[in-house]
Amino acid sequence: MRAWRVHQLGEPTDVLRLEDAPSPAPGPGEVRIEVAAASLNFPDVLLCRGEYQVKPALPFTPGSEVAGIVAQVGEGVEELAPGDRVLAIPKFGDGGLAEETLAAAATTYPIPDSMDWPAAAALHITYQTGHLALHHRAGLRSGETLLVHAGAGGVGSAAIQLGVAAGARVLATAGGPDKVQTCRDLGADVAIDYRAEDFVAGVKEATDGRGADVIYDPVGGDVFDRSRKCVAFEGRILVIGFTGGRFADAPTNHVLIKNYSVVGVHWGLYNLMQPQRIRATHEELVRLHRDGKIAPLVSELLSLDDAAKALERLASRGTVGKIVCTTGP
């Protein structure tokens, strides 16, 4: 089988090599999956650069979510069987940018026959993060205003759809007119090009000066700093990521004076701390997808061979929604 591998750290197109590799054998509690589709995530870029918070040993295969068919089960796996259609988080370091991958049965989830492979490959990390952040961490209520930053990106596009599905009024920011239009197409009521105009004024205007009740921030840095200026009384700012490249500081006097909360979200940790919450959220996401309330924005469907170039574009802000790589002919 073929797998993308990183032997030394650097930019994705410089360090990723598509190589022949032996078919992996599942250990106890693991399954081997024939990958039908793998979706790309910003952390795959960080892994290649050696900038992700956890660093796999070299050489490694990136790729943090896949959909495919269970080919073999390891010792002690009873809930899954060969032939099952699943989506999964692959074993760290033996990732999904490959024709076959390994995953723990605990992070492998059944999908219905009606769900196609690209949708399944794009339904996990971004939607899980969004659902958990908006509902469990921020307690988003129907009728509240949700502001989603980088709304045309992977996590942003999922958060817009989940906000609309929750009955919130959704505002979004994005860089450039095309991405702003993508946010509108996803269901945002108001979309602001934050590279061309000050989003604080736009949010205040759209909320009669109140500000947004929940702010979903995958960018950080200046975007976080400016978000503090347009968060509503008793609002919640969700810290999702740092694509802007700087960790912002939250001055506690400002948090007190304006009565808002800064809420951290590390979805991956729930796999360790509360795995049952992830499984319940998966079932809810499958239901929302079946009912037509959410549908991953798969903007590009590529071959596995194109994964390295696609990761480079993702790193440089050149993509919208999700890019999915398929292994078929």
Ligand X SMILES: NC(=O)c1ccc[n+]([C@@H]2O[C@H](COP(=O)([O-])OP(=O)(O)OC[C@H]3O[C@@H](n4cnc5c(N)ncnc54)[C@H](OP(=O)(O)O)[C@@H]3O)[C@@H](O)[C@H]2O)c1
* Shortest Cβ 143–ligand X spacing (Å): 26
Size of the residue set binding ligand X (CB under 6 A): 27
In sequence order, what are the beta bridge partners of 237?
215, 262
Interface segment toward ligand X; rule CB under 6 A; list 6-14, 147-155, 163-171, 225-233: 147-155
Q: Does the protein bind ligand X through residue 248 (CB under 6 A)?
A: no
**In angstroms, rounded to a whole number, what is the distance separating the alpha carbons of residues 2 and 292?**
35
207 binds ligand X (CB under 6 A): no
Cα gap 42→244, rounded to integer Å:
12
User: Least distance (Å) from ligand X to the CB of residue 223?
Assistant: 7
- Buried-exposed string 120-153: b where 16+ CB fall within 10 A, e elsewhere: bbbbbbbbbbbbbbbeebbebeeebbbbbbbbbb
Which residues is 192 bridged to in the sheet?
A: 173
Instruction: List the interface residues with ligand X, window 307-326 (CB under 6 A).
Output: 314, 317
Cα 46 to Cα 62: distance, rounded to the nearest angstrom: 10
What part of residues 4-43 is at the interface with ligand X (CB under 6 A)? 41-43
Check residue 175 for interaction with ligand X (CB under 6 A): yes
Closest approach, Cβ 129 to ligand X, in A, equals: 4
The reply to whether 281 sits near ligand X by the rule CB under 6 A is no
Q: Measured from the CB of residue 265, what is the shortest distance to ligand X in angstroms?
A: 5
> Of 70 and 88, which CB lies nearer to ligand X in the complex structure?
88
Burial 257-288 (b: 16+ CB within 10 A, else e): eeebbbbebebbebeeeeeeebeebbeebbeb
- Is residue 59 a contact residue for ligand X (CB under 6 A)? no
Based on CB atoms, which residue is closest to ligand X, 68 or 218?
A: 218
Cβ-based nearer residue to ligand X, 35 or 46: 46
Residues 217-246, mask of contacts with ligand X (x by CB under 6 A): -xx--------------------xxxxxx-
Q: Which of residues 60-119 bind ligand X (CB under 6 A)?
A: none
List Cβ neighbours of 48 (8 Å cut-off, separation of 6 or more).
Answer: 6, 9, 10, 11, 12, 15, 16, 62, 311
| C-alpha–C-alpha distance, residues 87 and 76, integer Å | 20
AA identity, residue 153: G
Which CB, 70 or 120, lies closer to ligand X?
Answer: 120
Decide: is 179 part of the binding site for ligand X (CB under 6 A).
yes
Site membership for ligand X, residue 267 (CB under 6 A): yes
Least Å distance, CB 242 to ligand X, is 5
Alpha carbons 174 and 156: distance in angstroms, whole number:
9
Output the CA torsion 164→302→54→272 (10° steps).
50
SS3 assignment, position 189 = coil
The least distance separating ligand X from the CB of residue 151, rounded to whole angstroms, comes to 7
* Cβ proximity to ligand X, 79 vs 306, nearer residue: 306
Pair 34, 3: CB distance under 8 Å: no
Question: Nearest approach, Cβ of 141 to ligand X (angstroms)?
Answer: 22
Interface residue with ligand X among 154, 163, 235, 296 (CB under 6 A) is 154
**69 half-sphere exposure, CB direction, 13 A CA radius:** 8
Residues of this chain that interact with ligand X (CB under 6 A) are 41-43, 125, 129, 150, 152-155, 174-175, 179, 218-219, 240-245, 265-268, 314, 317
